[in-house]
Amino acid sequence: MSGVGILSAIIIGIFAGWIAEKIMKRNHGLFTNLLVGLVGALIGSFIANLINFPFSGFIGSLLVSTIGAVLLLALLGLIRRK
């Protein structure tokens, strides 16, 4: 998460996890949303850097983190089905 502090990263992680939870029609708690959002931020920023997608600030970090969190939940859903 480029250009944000630790408190902003936590808030973005919670929001990104919550948004991903709603998109994927899941039901998690606050702590799980935070974990999903923060791991999603790592995944999303890795992918964004691979494709040279510039992002910074709150909105850019939220977008990239949400995309990463949705991908994480989708991958976990595929693994659980097997």
pLDDT digits (tens, 9 = 90+) for 26-64: 888 889 998 999 999 899 889 988 999 888 788 888 999
pLDDT score recorded for residue 63 = 92
The most distant pair of C-alpha atoms in the chain lies apart, rounded to whole Å, by 39
Provide the percentage of residues in the chain whose pLDDT is more than 70.
94
Instruction: Please state the pTM of the whole predicted model.
Output: 0.87
End-to-end CA distance of the chain: 32
Q: Taking all residues of the chain, what is their mean pLDDT, rounded to a whole number?
A: 88
Q: Token digits for 38?
A: 């923060």
Q: Give 3-state DSSP helix, strand, coil % of the chain, rounded to 5.
A: 80, 0, 20
DSSP string, 44-65: HHHHHHHTT----HHHHHHHHH
